[in-house]
Amino acid sequence: MSDLAVVIGAWYQESGGKSFEVVAVDADTATIEVQYFEGEVEELEFETWAEIQLLAIAAPEDWTGAFEELESDDLGYCDAVIQPENWAGPLVSLEAVDSC
């Protein structure tokens, strides 16, 4: 049985090993909406929450779990290094990001 409080944005792990984040709580319908790391969304009733065994865990470092086949280029990272001698101002760096 879970004695853990429901906290929106907190991560939990079921005894079976699946991890999920609480994304919404609806007191009117007595439901908790969770999103598993792989992306699946499920709605749990308050009673179900109390019956399952859960562990509170830290958020995963790899946030890309819910996105299928995400390429490293899609993450928005850029290998361009800005040096003081080639940096003319903040607008120039914004234009450089588009070229990565």
Reported as a pLDDT band with limits 50, 70 and 90, residue 7 is very high
Q: Answer whether residue 63 is part of any domain.
A: no
**Whole-angstrom Cα distance, residue 65 to residue 39?**
7
Residue 81 lies in a domain: yes
The residues facing 57 across adjacent strands are 11
64 occurs within a structural domain? no
pTM: 0.62
- Domain with 90, as residue range(s), is 11-58+71-98
92 within a domain of the structure (yes/no): yes
Q: Looking at the 3D structure of the chain, how many domains does it have?
A: 1
Buried b (16+ CB within 10 A) or exposed e, 60-74: eeeeeeeeeeeeeee
Nearest-angstrom CA–CA distance, 95 and 98? 6
CATH assignment at residue 49 = 2.30.30
Token pair listed for 85: 């001698």
Whether 34 is covered by a domain: the verdict is yes
91 vs 76: CA distance, rounded Å: 18
8 A C-beta contact, residue 55 and residue 13: yes
Residue 28, in any domain of the structure: yes
Q: How many CB atoms lie within 10 A of CB 32?
A: 19
Predicted confidence (pLDDT) per residue in 56-92, tens digit: 999 887 766 555 555 655 555 566 665 666 556 666 5
